[in-house]
Amino acid sequence: MNQVSVAKLIQENNLTVYTGEEYIKERYITTSDISRPGLELTGYFDYYPAERVQLLGMTEISYMEQMDQAKLTEYADVLCGTITPCFVVARALEIPEQLKDAAMRHHIPILRSKLPTTRLLAKMTDFLESSLAERKSMHGVLVDIYGLGVLITGNSGIGKSEIGLDLIKRGHRLIADDRVEVYQQDEQTIMGEAPAILRHLLEIRGIGIINVMDLFGVSAVLQNTTIDLIVNLEAWDKDKQFDRLGTGEQLVQIFDVDLPKIDIPVKIGRNLSIIIEVAAMNYRAKTMGYDATKAFEQNLYKLIEQNSKH
């Protein structure tokens, strides 16, 4: 089961620890769903999702302030389940003493944020979904080209890292070299990032490992990006028919998402960096409604019709 520590939640969402700092390392989050315990404060605990982060906003805190003190003490104790990772309070609101005491007894940290409840909910959900998503590693180089995530794949030694370096020199940004961790963000989006140990690093045969951020600056790297296009490099084979008109669209399924893929032959004298750059620009043009292949086919049909009339 994937899990993320409460300490990581604090770090990535700019939260402050109100109470229970000594218990942070004991608590882990296993679901991206976040609970706002409203019905529970009325005494209804039949379906209480105790394993979720419990988020308290203005509505919950103001209701607590009006509750009978004995009932609040009772319900606060039940809110503190053995698997409850933490409580998070929005708007830096004051926390009722009954909840504070119950959380301390059950070793559950209480965290606070200055953000409004809705914004805090969205921010933590995005973080937890990406952190807890199923992941797999793919061999390749992931580069951001004009805002598009392009995953360059191909057999080992074909020149992926060298092409990545050339693209960086041309002003594009590196996300990952050699090993790309991918995960599904939603029904239509695949994200890619580098493992922590390989972040910002690029391996060039004959030189070794270089740190792209140190050599080219912060603007030359990104932590993660969507994967929009897969470019697969293949050794030139005169007997293989490569797509020349752009009609042979291929799709590669990663998790539940189909991503477009193109094969580019590798041959001495071909400037692959420029070709991949143009492939990204052409893909963007297609997504904006302009398809050069369709335009060519339409012009060809018109020419055939004109000739058939004569």
* Catalytic residue (choose from 139, 170, 240, 267): 139
* 51 and 121 part of one domain: yes
* 58 and 191 part of one domain: no
Is 113 known as a binding-site position? Answer: no
Residue 203 in domain: yes
Is 273 known as a binding-site position? Answer: no
Total number of domains constituting the chain: 2
Residue 303 in domain: no
Residue range of the domain that includes 85: 4-132
Is 160 known as a binding-site position? Answer: yes
Is 171 known as a binding-site position? Answer: no
Is 211 known as a binding-site position? Answer: no
The CATH number of whichever domain residue 69 belongs to comes to 3.40.1390.20
Is 237 designated active site?
no
* 193 and 117 part of one domain: no
pLDDT by residue, tens only, the chain of 310 residues:
689 999 999 999 999 999 999 999 889 999 999 999 999 999 999 999 999 999 999 999 999 999 999 999 999 999 999 999 999 999 999 999 999 999 999 999 999 999 999 999 999 999 999 899 999 999 999 999 999 999 999 998 899 999 999 999 999 999 999 999 999 988 899 999 999 999 999 999 889 999 999 999 999 999 999 999 999 999 887 767 666 656 667 899 999 999 999 999 888 888 999 999 999 998 898 888 877 667 766 776 777 777 776 6
Helix axes 69-79, 97-105, angle to 10 degrees: 30
* 124 and 150 part of one domain: no
With b meaning 16 or more CB within 10 Å and e meaning fewer, what string describes 74-83? Answer: ebbeebbbee
Which residue among 70, 99, 132 closes a domain? 132
Residue 305 in domain: no
The pLDDT of residue 290 is 76
* 126 and 189 part of one domain: no
* Catalytic residue (choose from 27, 52, 112, 160): 160
Is 160 designated active site?
yes
The pTM for the full model equals 0.78
* Catalytic residue (choose from 52, 172, 177, 178): 178
* 157 and 126 part of one domain: no
Q: Phi, psi (5° rounding) for residue 145?
A: -120, 110
* Catalytic residue (choose from 238, 244, 309, 310): 244
Is 179 designated active site?
no
Is 108 known as a binding-site position? Answer: no
The pLDDT of residue 125 is 96
* 101 and 155 part of one domain: no
Is 270 designated active site?
no
* 128 and 213 part of one domain: no
Residue 194 in domain: yes
The CATH number of whichever domain residue 246 belongs to comes to 3.40.50.300
